[in-house]
Structure formats: C-alpha cells, structure tokens
Amino acid sequence: MKKFFAAVVLSLSLFKASADEGMWLPMLLGEQVYADMVKRGLKLTKEQLYSINKASIKDAIISFNGFCTGEIVSSQGLIFTNHHCGYGAITAASSVEHNYLRDGFYAYNKEQEIASGLYVLFLDKITDVTAEVEAAVKGLSWSERLAKLPEVTKAITDKVIDKENGLEGRVYSMFKGNQFLLYTFKRYRDVRLVAAPPESVGKYGGDTDNWEWPRHTGDFSVFRVYAAKDGKPAEYSTENVPLTPKHFLPVSIKGFKDGDYAMIYGYPGSTNRYETNYGIKLKNDIENPSLVALRDMRLKYMHEQMVKDPAVKLKLADNYATVANYWKFFDGETKQLLKFKTQQQKEAFEKQFTDWAKGKPEYQYLMSDYAKNYAAWTPYSKMRQYINEGVLGSPLAAFAATLIPLEDKLMKASTPTADLKKALDAATAARKAYLQAADLVSDEKIMATAAMMYYNDIDKNQHPVSFYESMKANFGSLKEEGTFKNWSKAVFSGTMFLDDAKWNAFVAKPEAVKLQEDGAFAFGAGFLKNYTGKYASLYNTFMSKNAELGKAYMKGIMEMNPAAVKKMYPDANSSMRVSYGNIKSYRPRDAVFYDYVCTAKGILEKYKPGDYEFDLPAKQVALLQKRDFGQYIDKAKNDLVVSFITTNDITGGNSGSPVIDANGNLLGLAFDGNYEALSHKIAFDKDLNRTICVDVRYVLWCIDKLGGASNIIKELKLVK
Ligand code: ARG
C-alpha cells in the first residue's frame, strides 16, 4: 500500500524525467518542464516555444472550430487538420454527384476552394485572473459562488472583446476551480476547404480500426484561413485574401527513428486525472455500459440504411461517426479501467489522503461526503443515460423535445403575439433543417427500441406517468417487441412533424393541445419533461456538490505534497496545452511487439474489395503497388510511412494537432489514442499510452500523387 502511494505521488508530480504524462500550460513550459524537454532532445529556446512578444510556435496552432486542433503550414494561411475534423464540412460540400467524401477533393487553385462556415481561433495570450475572480466571489456560499461565476467571468471577457480585430476571451477554471486563466483569442470566420483525401484514405479501416494501433488511416484534410485585405478577421467574402500568419510550421520529410523527440501542441478537451473511486465505479457499473448498449442499437439501425443508399450515407455519416467514435471509446475505457484496476488504485490513494486529512476539518470528511453524494444520485443515473442516449437518440424525438418552450408559450395566455410568431418561425426553420438530415427508416426502429429498452431496463417508478399504460391499451402487451414497433410506426405515420399539411395547419392555428396529442412530442418531450421535472434538480445538486468536493480535494492533494505543486499540470479543459515525449514502439501484451510505424505495405494487406471499411479505389491500389513514393519514401523502411506512434499525453480535442520535432518542424498530425490505454482520461499509463499520428509524408504523397495537387505542396516549406 505504502509503495503504491509513493507511485501515485510520483506520477502526479512528474518527478521522473522519463514520465511522458502531462498536458502543460504553454506559458509555464519555461518554468516547469523546459529543462526536461531539452534533456529529451528539444533544440529550441523557451521563447520559440511560447512568447507573447515575438512569433513562436503557439502562433501556428489554432483551435479548429472549437472541437479540434489545426496548424498553419504556409505563409498563405494553409491549415492541416484531421479528416475526421473536417468531416462535417466535407460531407456538407458533397452530393451524390460530387461525392467528395467518397472520392476526395482537391482545389487546384484558390478559386476552387469551398467556403466551410467554420471558424478558427489563434491564441493571443494567457493571463492569470484568479485574484480578480476570487475577489468577486469572496464570502459567498458554494451555491452562490457557482451562480455568480458566469457573471464574473463574463465581466472579465467583456473587457477583452474587440469586434473589429476579432479579439475575444475565455476564462478557464484550472485545478478544479482553484485557479482561473484568461485566454485571449483572435477569431477568423472565413475558412475554406482546400483538400480532403477519399474516405479510403481519410477513414481507412473505419470503426474497426478506430482507437487502435496498428493503423493505416490517412486522417488529414486541408483548409485555408482568409482575412480582409488589411489582415483583420472578416465574414466570408470573395474580396478576402489568404491570411498571412505570424508563424507557420515548416514540414519535415527527413523522417525519424524510434526514440526521437516529439511534442504536440493542441486543445485537449477533458480529462479527470483526479477522479475518485466513486466516479469510476459509477462509470464502470452504469454510465458506460448503458451508453454503449444504446449506441450499439442506434448505430446498427443507421448502418443498415447507410450501406444501402449513398444519399442516406451522406446524410447520416457525420452523426454516425460522432456516435460511433465515443461508443467504442467508452466501451474500451471501462475495459481498460478494469484491466488496470484503476478504481482500486484510487481507493488506496484516497485512504492515504484520508489518513493525512485526520484532524483537518477542511479535508477529513471529503471521502465520506463523496460516498454520500454518489449514493444519493446513483439510483437515477441509468435513467439519465437512457434519456440522453436512448429517447433523445431518436432524431424525431429529439426534434420534438426542442418544442417544449413553444408548448410553454402556447399554454400561457399572456404570451405576446409577436413572441409566439417568432417561436413558430424558429420551429418551422428547425423542422426544415431536421427533415433535411432525417432518415425515417432507421429512426422509426431507433424510437421503437429506445422506448422498449427504457421500459425493460429502467425502474418503474421512473417511468413517465401513464405513458406505457396508454401504449399497452392501444398497442398490446409490453412483453412483445411488436407492440413497440407498431406504436413507433403509428407515431411516424401520425406526427405533424413529418406532414407538411398538418404542420401548416398547426402553425396557422397553434394550440398546445395539438402538440401534446402528437405521438412524437408525447414521447420526446414527455420523457424529457419527466426527467427535468423530477430528477434534473437531483442531478444538479449532485454535480454542484461534486464540484465543491473536487475543489477541496484538489487543494488538499496540493497541500499534502507541496513540493510536487510546481510540477503539476491541470486537467484538460479545451485550453491550449503542450505535451512532449518520444516516438516509441511498444509491447501491448505478452509476446507481442508493435513497431513505431505503419507503412503502405499494410494498406494493401488490409485491402478487402467491396468491404465497407477496407475497400480501396483502383487508382490508389495501382499507385501503391507501383511504389511511386518519390521524395516521400522512408529510406530506413524502404516504404512509404503512413503513420507512427508517440508517448505523448493527449485526448479528444487534440485531433489534428501537429506533432513537432526537436527543431520545430512538422512530422505529422495526431489523430487518435490506442486501445490498450483508453483509460487515459482518468489515468495515464506510462508503459502503454500511445498517440497515433498520420505521417506528414503520407499526407503529402496523397495530395501530390493521389490528388495531383502539386500547387499545395509548392506552398509548403519542406525540410529535407
Ligand atoms: N478516434 C478518433 C478521435 O477521437 C476519431 C477517429 C474518427 N474515425 C472513426 N472511424 N470514427 O480523435
């Protein structure tokens, strides 16, 4: 036990130079880890890593539409990011006739680039605003503090807003609310699609290979950021010009070897490295298995339709990929948490914490308070997952549920006519958007099965009053699957949301009762209101208490081990971070060795003609067989290197992040984590954790040889 405690403290504090764990704050690199980075191979100065006065690497890194990362790779605002980050824009630009998702897209000149509607953020600077925040909430109770914080942070970000120059701010809570940092960003809103490889490159191996190494996916896409002629951010306009960036990354085609230095800048979304054993238990016992079961079901029905019809595939592809990505993640996460016995490890650490906390009123009851808080919420947590992932997993039900505010307005006689009209116009527009993306065949099955699973799996006390009684009365025994199917069929054929004439009649003479009598509304809105009316406040209390305990727990951990504080990094929270490590092979399990690269040879080995995930177009097969790899070949492997792995500590949100060598050149783009360490949000495993990256030489080969877009290659600064 004692030995374990030492191990946890060490990993938290990163005393060991060999540790690769850590998502470091860019402005503290110099203070916290620079010496270690140099020891590991870095050749750059502190100022080159992050500076607010001079151009530095951080100026080439962008938040890509808030959910991914990208990097600037030319003096004309060219952006590299992942294919799965550009996926929505690529599908939106595609049609059955011009199927860029299937066939790829390359702009051979700037006129051919396609407006995407996406935005990018450049980081200007980071400022510590903890003192200002704390002064504004001084003396408040926890709930008053939580209620006031949004207003306090808004006052801070309001001060940096500068519309003309595109400046805006965001305050991030660090170390579970013990520190607050203001990030100032510049937002550019004219971002255009420049190139995307076919899905047989960008998503090769699909969900079978997702989250796994070895991997043969060329997960990249290319965009460009435009600005007004004076360089200021502007809405899309043909008058705009490519942005001249402060810094862009040179691209290395020199190659690398196992053990070489690698660092990654990006915007990791979330981790919870100080999660308690109670949180892990709830996740493993209830949250993850429920989500996985419900997504399994939805994905199955969507997939059935997507394989049948390319138009349906284009409609559902983006949503399908998003749902599938975290379906596999959460399944793998629980498997790895169990394998690593993470809950037991946390329990042991918490026992040490509680021993230390004895006699310290601020900390001594933290763990028992956590236990009580989880005990109070646990009976409802499955139902909450079934609402989010089951009931609202039906697009029709989810659309219907968005009309709850309209129902409210209709029920209040005092609603001004103008307000009502506005709400009805908005609902009509939302209905149109919903219909454009809808596939009714899969949705009807999803709705039937979601209703059935909720009935079978959720405590009867948590069922909406009379819903299932009325289904039984109208459609028959609830023991029969057919009953749910018939009910869903009736909902789909009767609902006004799918019938223009009925919808127009409703808009012409809107009444709450018409909504309430609608089968889709009764299900989507009915179940959601059952949750919000009876259980949402319990959930909010649970979350608020958890946050309160979390802040104290974090503070306690820091007090318990003051020497380690200087070397601690906060959990990921979508703010820019830097991770450093090495390119490195690994042994996933006994007797198995995984090399540090995958090559083109493996693409052909995996090729299965006609397969949904492993098919290849003839041109790609021919080019790969010809081995025309030109300047992109890896001499050591005598092949085209497709992808590689590093020990870097990253997570979702880092997708598209640049993998940078010791001299500041681009080696590749991070796009995934490996299966054996999918518990990484909660615990980083120093032996098994790997980041999966597409090699920039494969990116360039695809653009150049597969796409023939040498115009793009010419823009880059190649390091040979
Ligand atoms: N697992 C990757 C990530 O979260 C996304 C990969 C997308 N591909 C897919 N087959 N769904 O960054």
Judge whether residue 9 has pLDDT over 60.
no
User: Residue 1 above 60 pLDDT?
Assistant: no
What the block records as the tokens of 360 is 């310290």
Task: Please state the atom number of ligand 1 nearest to the C-alpha of residue 210.
Answer: 10
Instruction: Give pLDDT, residue 14.
Output: 32
CA distance 106 to 112: 8
Contact 133, 177 (CB under 8 A): no
pLDDT tens digit sequence for 603-614: 999 999 999 999
Domain 55-271+592-719, CATH 3.10.300.10 — does that match? Answer: no
Catalytic residue among 56, 655, 657, 679: 655
- Counting Cβ atoms within 10 Å, is residue 546 exposed (0-12), middle (13-18) or buried (19+)? buried
Helix (H, G, I), strand (E, B), or coil: what is residue 614? coil
Q: Give the predicted TM-score (pTM) of the model.
A: 0.95
Q: Give the atom of ligand 1 at the shortest distance from the alpha carbon of 82.
A: 12
Catalytic annotation, pick one of 59, 124, 219, 704: 219
Domain boundaries, given as residue ranges, for the chain = 55-271+592-719, 274-391+538-570, 394-534
Q: Is the dihedral of CA 67, 73, 75, 76 positive or negative?
A: negative
The sign of the CA dihedral 185, 191, 193, 194 is negative
Over 644-699, what HEC string results? EEECCCCCCCCCCCEEECCCCCEEEEEEEECHHHHHHHCCCCCCCCCEEEEEHHHH
CA of 515 to the centre of ligand 1 (A): 38
CA distance 615 to 620: 10
pLDDT range class, residue 7, cuts 50, 70, 90: very low
- Contact (CB, 8 A) for 86 and 93: no
Mean pLDDT, residues 8-20 taken together: 46
Quote the ligand 1 centre to 325 CA distance (angstroms). 5
- Dihedral sign computed on CA atoms, order 625, 628, 634, 640: negative
Q: pLDDT, tens digit, for every residue of 395-423? A: 999 999 999 999 999 999 999 999 999 99
pLDDT of residue 5: 41
Could you identify the atom of ligand 1 that is nearest to the CA of residue 671? 12
Ligand 1 atom closest to the Cα of residue 325 is 11
- Please give the distance, rounded to the nearest whole angstrom, from the Cα atom of residue 201 to the centre of ligand 1: 13
Phi, psi (rounded to 5 degrees) for 226: -110, 155
Give the pLDDT band of residue 10 (cuts 50, 70, 90): very low
Q: What is the mean pLDDT of residues 634-638?
A: 97
For the CA of 205, the closest atom of ligand 1 is 10
Query: In 10 A of CB 466, how many CB atoms?
Result: 10
Condensed to tens digits (0 to 9), the pLDDT of residues 243-264 reads 999 999 999 999 999 999 999 9
Average pLDDT rounded to a whole number, residues 269-278: 98
Atom of ligand 1 nearest to the CA of 329: 1
Could you give the dihedral angle defined by the CA atoms of residues 191, 194, 200 and 202, in that order, rounded to the nearest 10 degrees?
-40
Amino acid found at 651: T
Residue whose CB lies within 8 A of the most ligand 1 atoms, among 325, 643, 654, 680, for a mutation test? 325
CA of 37 relative to ligand 1 center, distance in Å? 29
Q: Which residues contact 693 (CB under 8 A, 6 or more apart)?
A: 643, 644, 645, 646, 659, 667, 668, 669, 670, 671
Q: What is the pLDDT of residues 320-342, one digit of tens each?
A: 999 999 999 999 999 999 999 99
271/377 Cα distance (integer angstroms): 22
Token code pair at residue 212: 């796994």
- The 3-state secondary structure of 150-205 reads HHHHHHHHHHHCECCCCEEEEEEEECCCCEEEEEEEEEECEEEEEEECCHHHHCCC
Confidence label for 18 from pLDDT (cuts 50, 70 and 90): very low
**127's tokens:** 């400022």
pLDDT band (50, 70, 90) for residue 2: very low
Residue nearest to atom 7 of ligand 1 (CA): 84
Q: Is the Cβ–Cβ distance between 420 and 413 less than 8 Å?
A: no
pLDDT average, residue stretch 186-200: 98
Please choose from 91, 303, 655 the residue to mutate so as to test ligand 1's pocket, defined by most ligand atoms within 8 A of CB.
655
Phi, psi dihedral angles at 458 (to 5 degrees): -105, 135
Pocket of ligand 1 (CB under 6 A): 84, 203, 206-207, 210-211, 321, 324-325, 652, 655, 671-672
First to last CA, the chain: 52
DSSP assignment of 437-498 equals: H--HHHHHHHHHHHHHHHHHHS-GGGSPTTHHHHHHHHH--TT-HHHHHHHHHHHHHH-GGG
From 64, 68, 84, the mutation candidate for ligand 1 (largest count of ligand atoms within 8 A of CB) is 84
Alpha helix positions (H), 271-365: 277-282, 288-306, 310-339, 342-357
pLDDT tens for 207-230 read 999 999 999 999 999 999 999 999
**Catalytic residue of the set 11, 56, 63, 84:** 84
User: Confidence class of residue 299 from pLDDT cuts 50, 70 and 90?
Assistant: very high
What is the C-alpha separation between 272 and 276, in angstroms, rounded? 9
Dist CA 87 CA 198 (whole Å): 11
Average pLDDT, the chain: 96
Q: At 179, is the pLDDT very low, low, confident or very high (cuts 50, 70, 90)?
A: very high
The whole-number average pLDDT for the span 34-47 is 97
Nearest atom, ligand 1, residue 87 CA: 7
**The length of the chain, given as a count of residues:** 720
HSE value, Cβ hemisphere, 13 Å, CA-based, for 377? 26
CB atoms within 10 A of CB 418: 8
Q: Is 655 marked active-site?
A: yes
**Cα of 210 to ligand 1 centre, how many Å?**
6
CA of 322 to the centre of ligand 1 (A): 8
Which residue, judged by its Cα, is nearest atom 8 of ligand 1? 210
User: Ligand 1 centroid vs 649 CA: distance in angstroms?
Assistant: 17
Which of the four pLDDT bands, split at 50, 70 and 90, describes residue 19? Answer: confident
Burial class for 644, CB neighbours closer than 10 Å (0-12, 13-18, 19+) = buried
Name the percent of the chain lying above pLDDT 70: 98
Contacts of 440 (CB under 8 A, 6+ apart): 396, 492, 498
Q: Which of 87, 90, 210, 221 to mutate to test the pocket of ligand 1 (most atoms within 8 A of CB)?
A: 210
Distance from the CA of 645 to the center of ligand 1, in angstroms? 15
Distance (Å) of CA 218 to CA 84, 196, 677: 10, 10, 22
The residue whose CA has the least distance to atom 3 of ligand 1 is 672
